Amino acid sequence: MSVRVGILGATGAVGQRFVQLLEDHPTFEIVVLTASPESAGERYRNAAKWRVDTPIPDEVAAMRVRETAVDAIPDVDLLFSSLPSGVAAEIEPELCRAGYVVSSNSSNERMAADVPLTIPEVNADHLDLIDTQREARDWDGALVKNPNCSTITMVPTLAALDEFGLSRVHVSTLQAVSGAGYSGVTSMEILDNVLPHIGGEEEKMETESKKLLGDVTDGELSLHDVEVAASCNRVPSLDGHLENVFAELSEDPDAEEIHEALTEFEGIDLRSAPERPIHVFDDPERPQPRLDRMRGKGMQISAGGLRETPDGVQYNCLAHNTIRGAAGASILNGELLANEGWV
């Protein structure tokens, strides 16, 4: 049974990842690609400066790009969005009002109380907010968000540890340049250097985590009371965010129990989901971005360097930021929406 999908903002870095990841998808079929007005009418192969390391799929290369506008989009079952957040803030609501179901990677509305912000393995049940959303906004469609790439890397590990009473988190990130988009970080900024600040990133990690770990009951969201303090850095790697997490726990599990909680954290039966969401390395030198970002086709999170601390545990975690942290995250949410009958 085929699901007809469109990609909003298909020519950018994340848009290209959508195209790449959907190439062999058994049920999702790309039927429309949009971009800014200047590219409208061009073939995708010309509109997109293709920089992904596998060739453009032939049938997509030949498709003509449309403008990102409600009346330019045909009838499809599902839209993926990797629009700049300013553009997304305008058009996504229009599309939902017009009846489209949108699985979006853009940062607007992520913290709205009636917009599901989901990682399928963590809080699939937050899709219940769609009913709340439709009622409140008088929409026929639906808007579902995935979190920021740096948040996704950490939150599944926090969800796995929450059984031990997660109360406070200090986290430092070492984020790859692709997280800023193709032109986001110049070479003169980052060669022989590190950037200690990524605008808005720390706040995203601090707030999104509370929502993802929160609870939805009777269509109402309550945030988790964990306190997260984040420090975000850009480093000269291409893909893969590495994060150093210090988690304060109210209980006192030993290293083995923590190891098991992470390793046994339950997966979800969706096409793009890895069998196990989290792989734990015993070798303290792993995970490393270049060696481990492609585990589980870029969808598995790696952890390592577990050490007990006086008040909890410290460890490192890693995910591929443009797959698990962006395009792959939206696709996984799309698969969840399809699976639960929203598409």
What lies within 8 Å, CB to CB, of 307 at 6+ separation is: 255, 313, 314, 315
In the complex, least distance from residue 88 CB atom to a copy of itself, rounded to whole angstroms: 22
Q: Does 91 contact a copy of itself by CB under 8 A?
A: no
User: Is 195 an interacting residue with respect to a copy of itself (CB under 8 A)?
Assistant: yes
User: What are the two backbone dihedrals, phi and then psi, of residue 208, each rounded to the nearest 5 degrees?
Assistant: -60, -35
Whether 170 sits among the annotated catalytic residues: the reply is no
Q: What angle do CA 266, 333, 130 make, to 5 degrees?
A: 110
In this chain, which stretch among 4-12, 15-23, 146-154, 232-240 interacts with a copy of itself, using CB under 8 A? Answer: 232-240
- In the complex with a copy of itself, the residue whose CB is nearer, 27 or 244, is 244
286 binds a copy of itself (CB under 8 A): yes
> Which CB sits closer to a copy of itself, 236 or 267?
236
Binding-site residue total for a copy of itself (CB under 8 A)? 54
Distance separating alpha carbons of residues 197 and 300, to the nearest angstrom: 26
The one-letter amino acid at 216: V
Contact set for a copy of itself, span 103-162 (CB under 8 A): none
Reply yes or no: is the peptide bond before residue 287 cis, omega within 30 of 0: yes
Site for a copy of itself in 291-320 (CB under 8 A): 291, 294, 304-305, 307, 309-311, 314, 316
Residue 123 and residue 224 in contact, taking contact as beta carbons nearer than 8 Å: no
- Choose between 256 and 285: whose C-beta lies nearer to a copy of itself: 285
Beta-bridge partner residues of 68:
none
Given 241, 279, 317, 320, the catalytic residue: 241
Rule CB under 8 A: which residues touch a copy of itself?
Answer: 13, 51, 53, 168, 170, 172, 174, 177-178, 182-197, 202, 227, 229, 231, 233, 235-238, 242, 244, 246, 284-291, 294, 304-305, 307, 309-311, 314, 316
